[in-house]
Structure 1
Amino acid sequence: MNLKMIPTAYAKKPSMEQRDYQIHYNRDTALTPLKSRLKSHVHPHYELYFLISGQVNYHVDPHRFALKSGDMILIRPGQPHHAELIQSKDPYERYILWLHPSYLENSSTESTDLQIAFKSINFQDSHLSLSGDMIVLLDNLLHRIWVQSQLQEYGADLLARIYIKELLIIVARAKLNDPPCERSKPLNNEKLLAETLDYIHAHIHEAMTVEHIANHLFVSRSFLSKMFTANMNISLHKYIVQKKMSFAKQELLSGESIHLICEKFGFGDYSTFYRAFQREFGMSPRLYVQSMKDVR
């Protein structure tokens, strides 16, 4: 079964009353009408916000965070917060997961408090900047939660809750295991980094290389690679591959043929795409599609 990802409309988000959780997938390209709705607000539930793409400054009183793709915001009940959108070529795309406090309390054990992901640890509070591998993992988990929340099939409700627990444990471990203040360091070469990310997003369907990007930005390949790795905690080449794989994964789940995806994302031939997919997800493209059908 193919399940098309239809973004949740802002006006149609139901209340959290009598609900354990809600997950929303939002994708906006026209930001002007959206901006008027993004006023500072509070709510009585936890919120996990995961930015897929777009240019956003996120405010969680009293802090302001300049977000990049794959960043996460963790909001506790009663914390004022809002997004400040910046005009960009990229769509404003994100997952928002709402969690009722009583649901997290009842799902916790004596040794594992699921609310700890939202607590201040190692001087990390609301903002979590993730490594490339972690971004792919959490993006995949959020997608699975969203899929199961849309289904009426046997076991879908339990699978969604299993994935939510896994997500919260991974996020808590990331905060617990990170050195204090590591994520608070200012970005170096912020303009060059933004231009690099813009170029990747704009040419995601091409067979781009680090050298292509360096030539376009008039910098050396070595300098660009070192700058990107220092700021993103992932190599530029690996980031490009992961970004292509993330888009390719969505295309596979929407029913697009593997050979068309190979061409669409500039892999040249199936064997190259197969090897890259196997490295990223630990299974072949066909097996991945089948595994997602099995859990649905």
Structure 2
Amino acid sequence: MEVLALNFDIRYTTPQLQYNHKHLMQPPKMEFHLHDRYEVYFFISGDVHFLIEKKVYPMAYADLLIINNRELHKSTFRSDAPYENIVIHFDPELVQPFDSVFHYGLLDCFTNRAPGEHNKIQLHPDQLEELLALHKRIDALQLLPSEESGLLLTAYFIEMLVLLNRAFRHNLAPLSSSAVPEKLASVLDYIDHHLDHDLTLETLEKQVFMNRYYLSRLFRQSTGSTIHSYILMKRISRAKKLLHDGHNVTDACQMAGFNDYSNFIRMFKRIVGIPPGQYRKQKWE
């Protein structure tokens, strides 16, 4: 795929699917985040390390990552090199009719694995060629839209999911990734298992036997973000799952580690886009 020396942003959206092919001369700033939708991330160019849970992926041309709606992730840019990628976000419900008819398991590569494991899919040269052809067809939909474009986008994407699952099922060996530094991994493990506890820097310092200033510096050097933002997003993720599973807003607030109810409402709305009560109602409806 040719890399161009200009900014562009090709988007195509249906109610359940968003396709975004962009090239940026200046890479953006990113923090830890997660989505209600699933994500397919195809890397083209840039100087990027991609973090998913406790794994770090140094990205190279044609690397492909799959991310479900429970996996915290972010891009860390190592320099100001131009950045190009293709990202697809989709509702899992989009593929359910196909699964029910054909019994194939189009979401297997997103769900049949441990969180933060096997996110990278290795494509053989013929599979990569097939994927690039699908991307080219989707790009053309935006350039020459028609009344059939939404239907064709969905059809191309279903074809893409078949390709990804075929590659996933034939190669479950760990691919080129690295864990975060060992010292930091113990901190992340503690945070994951104690989200409903006090997680101030003072507390973490005592629990993991690491100076708080060194811990903050190590975290930023390794992830490009702050430990506070990581904890916040982990708690939001926990709250979303609790609400999805039927817990009320008060219980979700407490069980996710938010001691201040009004702060929980405010932060949830800022990050998710809607208040937690509305989020729960939507999921249950």
Question: TM-score band, normalised by the shorter chain?
Answer: 0.5 to 0.7
Task: Report if aligned partners of 2:118, 2:174 keep a CA contact under 8 Å in 1.
Answer: no
CA distance in 2 between counterparts of 1:151 and 1:104 reads 25
Q: Following superposition of structure 1 onto structure 2, how do residues 216-227 of structure 1 map, counting pairs within 5 Å? A: none
- The aligned length equals 172
Q: 1:85 to 1:185 in 2, by over 3 A?
A: closer
2:18 aligns with 22
C-alpha RMSD over aligned residues: 3.1
Task: Please tell me the residue identity of whatever aligns with 2:89.
Answer: W
- Cα distance in 2 for residues equivalent to 1:169 and 1:65: 24
Over 3 Å counting, the alpha-carbon distance change for 1:92 and 1:184 in structure 2 is closer
Q: Residue 113 of structure 1: CA displacement?
A: 2.0
Q: How does 1:254-269 map to 2 (within 5 A)?
A: none
Contact 2:55–2:177 (CA<8 Å) still a contact in 1? Answer: no
Query: Are positions 1:141 and 2:134 aligned together?
Result: yes
3-state DSSP class of the match of 2:8?
Answer: coil
Letter in 2 for 1:131: H
Q: Which runs of at least 4 in structure 1 moved beyond 6 Å after TM superposition? A: none
Q: How does 1:211-290 map to 2 (within 5 A)?
A: none
Q: CA deviation at 1:86?
A: 1.9
How has the CA–CA distance of structure 1 residues 20 and 6 changed in structure 2, closer, same or farther, with 3 Å as cutoff?
farther
**1:7 and 2:3 are equivalent in the alignment:** no
33, 47, 63: which one aligns with 2:39: 47
Please say if residues 120 and 126 of structure 1, whose CA atoms lie closer than 8 Å, have aligned partners that are also in contact. Answer: no
Whichever residue aligns with residue 100 of structure 2, its letter is T
Equivalent of residue 101 in structure 1, options 83, 92, 110: 92
Question: Can you list the C-alpha shifts for 1:118-141, whole angstroms capped at 9, x where unaligned?
Answer: 234599621123233322321221
- The residue identity in structure 2 corresponding to 1:152 is P
Structure 2, unaligned runs of 5 or more: 179-285
Amino acid at match of 2:145: Q
Residue 69 (structure 1) aligned with residue 61 (structure 2): yes
The sequence identity of aligned pairs, in percent, is: 21
Gaps of at least 5 residues in structure 1 are: 187-296
Q: 1 CA distance for matches of 2:107 and 2:26?
A: 35
Contact 1:49 1:72 in 2 (8 A): yes
Normalised to the residue count of structure 2, the TM-score between the two structures is: 0.53
